[in-house]
Structure 1
Amino acid sequence: MNRTDTATASRSAPNGAEAVLSVRDLTVSFRGPDRTVHAVDGVSYDLAPGEVLAVVGESGCGKSVTSMAVMGLLPPTAHVGGSIRLDGRELVGAPERELRSLRGRRLSMIFQEPMTSLNPVLTIGRQITEVLSRHQGLRRREARERAVELLDLVGIPAPRTRVDEYPHQLSGGMRQRVMIAIAVACDPAVLIADEPTTALDVTVQAGILDVLRSLRDRLGTAIVLITHDLGVVADTADRVLVMYAGRPVEQAPVDELFGAPRHPYTGGLLGAVLRPGSRTAGGRARLNEIPGLVPDLSEQPQGCGFAPRCARASADCLTVRPASRELSTTHRVACHHPVTAAAEGPANPRRPHHPDTSEGAAR
């Protein structure tokens, strides 16, 4: 694929601002000895400076693989197609040396599990200063002072003491904050946060989200937030991209999507959110469920991947893949039979035999 330089005219994000990251028709497949897994199929989005895009969906829907493709961190068995442009520069097919110069400087990622991502035999300060020395050429003393500043920025108490400690000496929330400090050390243009609040208690989770919001406001960093937690999405995101079986099925501003989801799968996810007054069984709250499972990605269906689980499916859904279409200038959906905007919202989801929404996935 021919690469383009920064002189290429950049695309605009939905809010009209110039897109710092532009993804078009992204595909990712993994070749194995006896089969090929199509993990991502046709993902497109634009991200403006300071914007937060949440990517949601069940496990196995391709959220993390999409972001690893953007970072250029997929294994050699992966085949990446489509286009990924950062500041107008094409990343698909770019040399590894060029990608290394961008990672950590213009493009950073917070990985899911900090205990396995941090080096257990190096101090926190050493792991932060390594990024600063490589990308900004800071000397040891300067880098150390900057590391202390970064630890303070992400809300770690006594940063001058913590900078000399090892990962096992910190709590889970502190380790996650260290990962954020490393990711934002060079003021990246785009930050990918892959499940940044997984396995953290509610208080620590709120602190982590406050840190991300503060960084966005201070630095104008664009954030791709990968999460299963729709409460986090509602509190943090500007727009939402819903993925199912490797394909994008709906994309809209967060208020519009939560208020009137148009794809049955989106309605199902929102229906799984526990709300006050939910039906109870034996005194316990009961969540709605989407029947069935995410399909095997080595056998992409000819039609809509969600059709076997969808109460609205017709014969066409099983044989014809739905194209992504605009419902408005800010709302796109890939569905032959989208829910009408006037249909009942997710606050009172219907059971599967009703046509207006599907059930939620208790996952």
Structure 2
Amino acid sequence: MSVRDLAVSFRSDTRTVHAVDHVSYEVAPGEVLAVVGESGCGKSVTSMAVMGLLPPSASVTGSIRLAGRELVGAPEKELQRHRGKDMAMIFQEPMTSLNPVLTIGRQIGEVVRRHQGLSKKDARARAVELLDLVGIPAPRQRVDEYPHQLSGGMRQRVMIAVAVACDPAVLIADEPTTALDVTVQAGILEVLRSLRERLGTAIVLITHDLGVVADAADRVMVMYAGRAVEEAPVDELFARPRHPYTHGLLGAVLRPGGEGKRRLPEIPGLVPGLDVQPDACTFAPRCPRADDTCTAARPGFTPAGPDTGTGPVHRAACWHPHPTATTAEEAPA
């Protein structure tokens, strides 16, 4: 899947909010791309635009191509053919995403009946297979239960089962481990890894949990105030963060043995409003490295290190990126 120059704005009677400001990325078959950033930075809006699930008040421009097919501006019937079959999404909160009055089996079976034309009997059998695939015990019993009868971890696994029912080429996982304990979280990530290895599915993992990113992702895109500010292979990003915002995020992560020895650093200031996207660096008011250049012109999303030609390029949208120190802690402010 290829996203190019994607911009999303929302109109109201009094103002226009620019939620996503010209974001571009690609994800290859079998790759896990993590999209990280604080709440309100545009992660989920980007994914909803890809799925074609934004409300009528949204204006979407740019290009979203899935296996060469353009999705921006496509008719709703065409998007319906792709959703669930070629691309699917694991939503943030399964209890509000699953229908409380329909059994688990019926909700999973609806996907395969619509896209694969299975009978009710075959759809139920497929639902049992999928529940077993995502690690739910006693799937023949669970298939006839309702969402409220399952734990939070099991509901999240049901959401994954719905999403992968037709073996989609692209799977968007929007905060799939939020509010889950670490044991259940590890199980969910293992399910996603298994799906990638078994089906070659490309996964876009949306999260603010950097521990999940380090454990599951191949590549990371960092967003701030609706813009992509840094993109790099996961090991490279954690070892040599270049953008000051990424540096601040990593600096605020708890490390073993560090509790009580130092106060976690915070990023000063507030996230800017999205009514206007300035032709400048949006992080400049909070950045200790900012100067007049940062407030006068928007930085390009350019290579932030040597291009070895052997893998994805490390890129950052910053006029004054951090030097390539060994770790985030070693780079000077």
> After the TM superposition, which residues 1-363 of structure 1 pair with which residues of structure 2 at under 5 Å, given as runs?
21-278=1-258, 280=260, 286-327=263-304, 328-329=306-307, 330-341=313-324, 343=325, 345-346=327-328, 348=329, 356-357=332-333
Q: Secondary structure at the match of 2:54?
A: coil
Shift of 1:118: 0.2
> CA contact under 8 A between 1:31 and 1:77: conserved in structure 2?
yes
> CA contact under 8 A between 1:263 and 1:338: conserved in structure 2?
yes
Q: Output one character per residue of 1:170-204: Cα deviation in whole Å (capped at 9) or x when no partner.
A: 00000000000000000000000000000000100
Q: Output one character per residue of 1:311-344: Cα deviation in whole Å (capped at 9) or x when no partner.
A: 0000111121111112344111100001111x35
> CA contact under 8 A between 1:278 and 1:286: conserved in structure 2?
no
Question: How far apart, CA to CA, are the structure 2 residues paired with 1:188 and 1:109?
Answer: 10
Question: How far apart, CA to CA, are the structure 2 residues paired with 1:302 and 1:139?
Answer: 55
Unpaired stretches in structure 2, ≥5 consecutive residues: 308-312
Question: How far apart, CA to CA, are the structure 2 residues paired with 1:344 and 1:175?
Answer: 41
> CA contact under 8 A between 2:196 and 2:203: conserved in structure 1?
yes
Question: How far apart, CA to CA, are the structure 1 residues paired with 2:145 and 2:129?
Answer: 16
Residue 335 of structure 1 aligns with an amino acid whose one-letter code is C
Q: Output one character per residue of 1:137-179: Cα deviation in whole Å (capped at 9) or x when no partner.
A: 0011111111000000000000000000000000000000000
Shift of 1:287: 2.1
> CA contact under 8 A between 2:175 and 2:205: conserved in structure 1?
yes
Question: How far apart, CA to CA, are the structure 2 residues paired with 1:184 and 1:325?
Answer: 35
Q: Secondary structure at the match of 1:30?
A: strand
Number of positions where the alignment pairs a residue of Structure 1 with one of Structure 2: 327
Residue 307 of structure 1 aligns with an amino acid whose one-letter code is A
> CA contact under 8 A between 1:194 and 1:226: conserved in structure 2?
yes
Greater shift in the superposed pair: 290-299 or 326-335:
326-335
Shift of 1:286: 3.6
> CA contact under 8 A between 1:267 and 1:349: conserved in structure 2?
no
Q: Given the two structures, how large is their TM-score scaled by the length of structure 2?
A: 0.96
RMSD over equivalenced CA pairs, Å: 1.2
% same residue? 76
> CA contact under 8 A between 1:252 and 1:331: conserved in structure 2?
yes
Residue 37 of structure 1 aligns with an amino acid whose one-letter code is V
Unpaired stretches in structure 1, ≥5 consecutive residues: 1-20, 351-355, 358-363
Question: How far apart, CA to CA, are the structure 2 residues paired with 1:302 and 1:265?
Answer: 18
Shift of 1:294: 1.2
User: Structure 1 residues 279 and 168 mapped into 2: Cα distance closer, same or farther (>3 Å)?
Assistant: closer
Residue 336 of structure 1 aligns with an amino acid whose one-letter code is W
Q: Secondary structure at the match of 2:230?
A: strand
> CA contact under 8 A between 1:48 and 1:222: conserved in structure 2?
yes
Q: Secondary structure at the match of 1:295?
A: coil
Question: How far apart, CA to CA, are the structure 1 residues paired with 2:162 and 2:168?
Answer: 11
Q: Given the two structures, how large is their TM-score scaled by the length of structure 1?
A: 0.88
